[in-house]
Structure 1
Amino acid sequence: MSKVLEKLQLDSTPINTKGYETLLKLVENTSRDSFDLNYGLFMYNVNAMEQLERMDFAFESLKKKLFGSLHGVLRKELFENSEKLKALQEKSVKQNGALSSHRETVKIR
């Protein structure tokens, strides 16, 4: 995990939280670990593959949740905009009279 955190190149920001400060300290403390140490832990730790799979699953799970939330927000905005457009069209028809065809709509614009 230390090499993953090191590759993120995290920097201090003006709005660091206490948790982020702790993360920066962790990166500072573990980034000095050599690749050979990480490789040795990977090669000789019987749980290494399971840990990598769990980390991969955790990232994928978080991404799905984030993108799922994004999808909900976008869908809500699309439907709200669609409803607003429909309301504007209805208001325009009431004020200007109904248009008989799409071609007539195009001619007016």
Structure 2
Amino acid sequence: MGRVLEKLQLDSTPIKTKGYETLLKLVENTSGDSFDLYYEMFMYNVIAMEQLERMEFAFESLKKKLFGRLHGVLRKELFENSEKLKVLQEKSVKQNGALSSHRETVKIR
């Protein structure tokens, strides 16, 4: 995991949590080892491929969860905007009488 974080080129920031400091230390500790050592550990670890697949699954699962919430936020905004449009149209009808035969468009800002 430290090698993956190293690829992100993380830097210390003025606002950092203890967890972020720990991640930076992890990168520092793992990047100090040679890639040859890292490669040998991969080659001779009988569960190395399983671990890589589990990491890939974990990233995909996290992405799905994040995008799932994003979809919910967008849906909520769209729904709220459609409700605002409906209220504006109803106010317009009350103020101006019945809608004319052609369709009127109300922009929400």
TM-score of the superposed pair, with normalisation by structure 1 = 0.89
How far 1:37 sits from its partner (Å)?
A: 1.5
2:2 & 2:34 partners in 1: Cα distance? Answer: 10
Which structure 1 segments of 5+ residues have no match? none
| Number of the residue aligned with 1:96 | 96
| Number of the residue aligned with 2:66 | 66
How far 1:101 sits from its partner (Å)?
A: 2.7
Which structure 2 segments of 5+ residues have no match? none
1:98 & 1:37 partners in 2: Cα distance? Answer: 79
How far 1:42 sits from its partner (Å)?
A: 1.4
2:78 & 2:102 partners in 1: Cα distance? Answer: 23
Code of the residue aligned with 2:73 in structure 1: it is V
How far 1:38 sits from its partner (Å)?
A: 1.7
Q: CA RMSD in A?
A: 1.4
2:92 & 2:38 partners in 1: Cα distance? Answer: 68
1:95 & 1:8 partners in 2: Cα distance? Answer: 58
| Number of the residue aligned with 1:17 | 17
How far 1:50 sits from its partner (Å)?
A: 0.4
* Greater helix share, structure number: 1
| Number of the residue aligned with 1:84 | 84
1:102 & 1:50 partners in 2: Cα distance? Answer: 63
How much identity, in percent, do the aligned residues show? 88
1:24 & 1:102 partners in 2: Cα distance? Answer: 63
1:89 & 1:4 partners in 2: Cα distance? Answer: 53
2:40 & 2:102 partners in 1: Cα distance? Answer: 70
**Bigger relative contact order (CA 8 A; separation at least 6):** 2
How far 1:14 sits from its partner (Å)?
A: 1.4
TM-score of the superposed pair, with normalisation by structure 2 = 0.89
| Number of the residue aligned with 1:53 | 53
Tell me the secondary structure at the aligned position of residue 102 of structure 1. Answer: coil
